[in-house]
Amino acid sequence: MHTPFNKKITLLLATFCAVISLGGTLFAAPLQIVTSTAELADLTKSIGKDAVVVIPLVIKNWDIHHVEPRPSMVVSVRKADMLIRNGMSLDIWLDSVLTVARNERVMVGGDSYVDASIGVTKLDIPTGAISQAMGDVHRQGNPHYLLDPRNVLIVSKTIKDALIKKDPSHANYYQKNYEDFIANYSKKLVVWNEKIKVLKGKKAVTYHKTWVYFFKYSGVELAGTLEPVPGIPPTPGHIAKIKSRLQKGDVSYIILSPYYSDKEAKILAKDTNIKFLSLPTSVEIGSKDYGTYTQMIDTIINDLIK
Amino acid sequence: MGVKVKRLFLIMVLLALSANCMDAALNFSVIGNFQARTGADEGTHAGIKEMELALQSPLTENIQANIFLSVHGQDDGSFEFHAEEAYFNLVNLPKTLTGFENNWEIGGKIGQKNIGFGKLNPLHPEQWRMLSAPLAFERLFGEEAVRGTGGQLEWAIPLPFFLQVELGLWNIEREEENTSDLVLKNKTASGRLWTSFSSSDENELELGLSTLQPLSKENAAANGADLTYRWYISSSKRYVFQSEYILGNPGDSTQTLSGGYVLNSMKWNTIWETGMRYDWVDSVSGEGNQWALILTRHGSETSKTRVECLMNKDSSPTFIIQYIFGVGPHAHTIQ
């Protein structure tokens, strides 16, 4: 009973439906992903590419420990389809943003809440009772795990799996981007692994215990910190101890993150003739030296081997 | 009746948290607040001002339980136990009530809590950028925050900037020792409009309008406006301008009471922060004003020492020194 006219209508409708459904897949609104740090934003964008819009809450190489939560962050989190955080209490301020934002998708336990530290082997996990006398000790361990470039392999897989779970229609796209990213990143790792060979066994004094993951990767040994305990600013007595340690002559570097006061470190470097380095610990959007994660690791390694 | 409801909420929240105590998502925060105060006119007092234990946990993906217990040191050396706040935070109220998925951005809080009026009242004092309460708060509201048992609706209006409307209904129990000029008590409606604009990652301007309106005419009412500007100069350097203005009506007279404060606070680096506050008040007990100079040393991520000097023309300066440590998410709230 089908007439040519009916056939045309059916064909037209079928084409229309196909275009709509294909368009829905190809041109769906990108996922809005909020990350607590710029390095997580960079890694997420590398895998999500055009299918995601990534908004880092902190875009500068600032001390993530001391970020003040504020209402403008709430606006980003409220609209987010997914939230990816560093975790391990480094971005603990994010909890109050989540409370005000009331976006159940990205609340702790929500289906689009991602703690990027899951799966990473943690260092410096305190044993026994934790007290105020120990300073700012994170009971989950040292949270600066992204300073070991090998951990990116774990974190990027966590991000890829979360993207596929959230947006299965782009599963192949995310998988392909992830594989491309890992292929390119592995080449970078080979170059870095070769470069850091000269660092093995060298000793460094740092301001804060930020660098334990990078040191484990590179073989650099931690000879001391300018902070007597994590989070407590240097005291004259402790600086004197560090100075006598440096005067043994076997320490190669005094390393500081740019957001710490460099006063004591520069004096110590001058008095002991040890190389002073201010190295980034976070990606800063727009920076030519550490605007992406790989640039940041390049900068760290190149400055150390210079 | 009010006390019974308050206890009921305390028990309900405690039970809910106990049931969840083995869950990794249960957050503990401990905040210790030690204070010493000295002045020629008032002598010297020192001791534990307050120890606070905060327990916060999601019960379901849609409901969080929060309880804040505190022990206050008294002038006679004794300690007093308080359940400061005990409430459920309903992330998505329509879903909680109906079970249906929706995207209406409406939430709520139910239980006993500090009422959302202005910038300082909803926060616990250890979270302030200052040590003492501004004169206007002390004279109009009393030493403790305006707290009630009831609930509030919160609607985050979907706009490109932050705009939240809060509407609440509370039963305010006035403490016997509260001799403040504004007698806020019994059934009271609250409202707050809270907005924020940010032109870059370095700065943010916040504006708020608040109101407390009694359901019976003989009780006091209050209206307030607040303005906060934050400028993040670098990772550790930031400037904050914060100001609140309160207009109060005692209810039993036509007199209008008013007061406010203006605070300039500069954090120079990771360690040092200085502040200067000017307070003024015009209340039943007369006009008054004072200056507060504030010096804060941030010892670490979780501890700080603060010294404040209060000065006014009627009495000799008072010095207050405070040591605070705070561990856990409650120590990092949105101000």
Determine the residue of chain B that is closest to A135 in CA distance: B300
Q: Yes or no: is domain A194-305 CATH 3.40.50.300? A: no
pLDDT, position A234: 85
Q: Where are the alpha helices (DSSP H) in chain B?
A: 2-19, 93-98, 135-140
Nearest CA in chain A to B200: A72
- CB A72 to CB B162 under 8 A? yes
Task: Let me know: does B240 contact B224? Beta carbons within 8 Å.
Answer: no
- Average predicted confidence (pLDDT) for chain A: 88
Q: Tell me the C-alpha to C-alpha distance, in Å, between residue B202 and each of A155, A303, B231, B232, B267.
A: 29, 29, 6, 5, 14
Q: What is the pLDDT of residue A53?
A: 97
Give pLDDT, residue A10. 66
- The CATH number given to whatever domain includes residue B180 is 2.40.160.10
* Residue B260, in any domain of the structure: yes
Instruction: Give the separation between CA A176 and CA B51, rounded to whole angstroms.
Output: 54
- Higher pLDDT among residues A155 and B323, named by residue: A155
Q: Across the interface, do A70 and B154 touch by the CB < 8 Å criterion?
A: no
Q: Could you tell me which residues come within 8 angstroms of residue A190 by beta carbon, excluding any fewer than 6 positions away? A: none
Highest-confidence range of A6-20, A88-102, A207-221, by mean pLDDT?
A207-221
Q: Please, which pLDDT band fits residue B75 given cuts at 50, 70 and 90?
A: low
Please report the pLDDT score of residue A85 as a whole number: 97
Please state, in angstroms and rounded to a whole number, the distance separating the CA atoms of residues B81 and B50: 10
Q: Determine whether domain A26-192 maps to CATH 3.40.50.1980.
A: yes
| Cα–Cα distance measured from residue A57 to residue A71, given in angstroms and rounded to the nearest whole number | 11
For residue B127, tell me if it sits in a domain. Answer: yes
State the average pLDDT over residues B145-152.
93
A154 pLDDT tier (thresholds 50, 70, 90): very high
Rounded to the nearest angstrom, the minimum Cα separation between B302 and chain A is: 7
Which pLDDT does position B95 carry in this prediction?
79
Find the range with the poorest average confidence among A141-145, B82-86, B263-267.
Answer: B82-86
In a domain, B205, yes or no: yes
Question: What's the one-letter identity of residue B181?
Answer: D
pLDDT of residue A25: 47
- The verdict on residue B66 lying in a domain is no
The pTM (predicted TM-score) of the whole model is 0.82
Q: How many structural domains is chain B composed of?
A: 1
Please state, for a pLDDT cut of 70, what percent of chain A lies above it.
88
The tokens for B123 are: 């926060």
pLDDT-derived band at A194 (thresholds 50, 70, 90) equals very high
Checking if the pLDDT of B146 tops 80, the result is: yes
pLDDT at B70: 85
Q: Which pLDDT does position B199 carry in this prediction? A: 84
Min Cα separation B236/chain A (Å): 7
Judge whether A207 is closer than 8 Å to chain B, CB to CB.
no
What does the alpha-carbon distance between residue B268 and residue B265 come to, in Å, rounded to a whole number?
A: 10
With a pLDDT cut of 70, the percent of chain B lying above it is 88
Residue A96 has its nearest CB partner, among B161, B201, B334, at B334
Is A286 an interface residue toward B (CB < 8 Å)?
Answer: no
pLDDT band at A24; cut points 50, 70, 90: very low
DSSP secondary structure letters along B133-187? PPHHHHHHT-SS--EEEEEEEEEE--SSSEEEEEEEEEEEPPPTT---SS---EE
| Residues in a beta bridge with A285 | none
At B292-318, the pLDDT tens digits run: 999 999 877 678 899 999 999 888 899
Q: Supply the pLDDT for residue B228.
A: 97
pLDDT at A162: 97
Backbone dihedral angles phi then psi of residue A246, each to the nearest 5 degrees: -65, -30
Alpha-carbon span B65 to B12, nearest angstrom: 9
Of B58, B107, B270, Cβ closest to residue A260? B270
Element (H, E) at A192: helix A171-195
For residue B21 the two structure tokens come to: 């105590």
Given strand A31-35, what is the order of strands in its sheet?
A52-56, A31-35, A82-85, A113-115
Closest chain B CA to residue A230:
B300
Considering only the beta carbons, identify the residue of B160, B300, B332 that sits closest to A135: B300
Average pLDDT value over all residues in chain B: 85
Contact across the interface for B270 and A71, Cβ inside 8 Å: no
Whole-angstrom distance, CA of residue B208 vs CA of residue B199: 18
Nearest to A102 among B92, B232, B234 (CB): B92
Q: For residue B329, list chain A residues with Cβ-Cβ distance below 8 A.
A: 92, 95-96
* Rounded Cα gap, residues B94 and B106, in angstroms: 7
pLDDT confidence of residue A1 = 44
Whole-number pLDDT of residue B335: 54
Are the beta carbons of A90 and A64 closer than 8 angstroms? yes
> pLDDT: is A12 or A179 the higher one?
A179
Q: Where in chain A is the domain with CATH 3.40.50.1980?
A: 26-192, 194-305
Residue B23 pLDDT more than 70? no
Q: Which domain holds residue B213?
A: 93-332
Q: Which of B201, B203, B233, B304 to mutate to test the interface with A (most CBs of A within 10 A)?
A: B201
Predicted pLDDT of residue A8: 59
- For residues B201 and A1, which has the higher predicted lDDT (pLDDT)? B201
Asked if A254 and A244 touch (Cβ cutoff 8 Å), the reply is: no
What's the confidence (pLDDT) of residue A6? 62
Of residues B92, B164, B301, nearest to A104 (C-beta) = B92
**Is beta strand B203-214 parallel, antiparallel or unpaired with respect to B221-232?**
antiparallel
Q: How far apart are CA B108 and CA B211, in angstroms?
A: 18
CA of residue B146 relative to chain centroid, distance: 9
Nearest one of A264, A293, A296 to A279, comparing CA atoms: A296
Least confident of A21-25, A27-31, A44-48, B168-172: A21-25
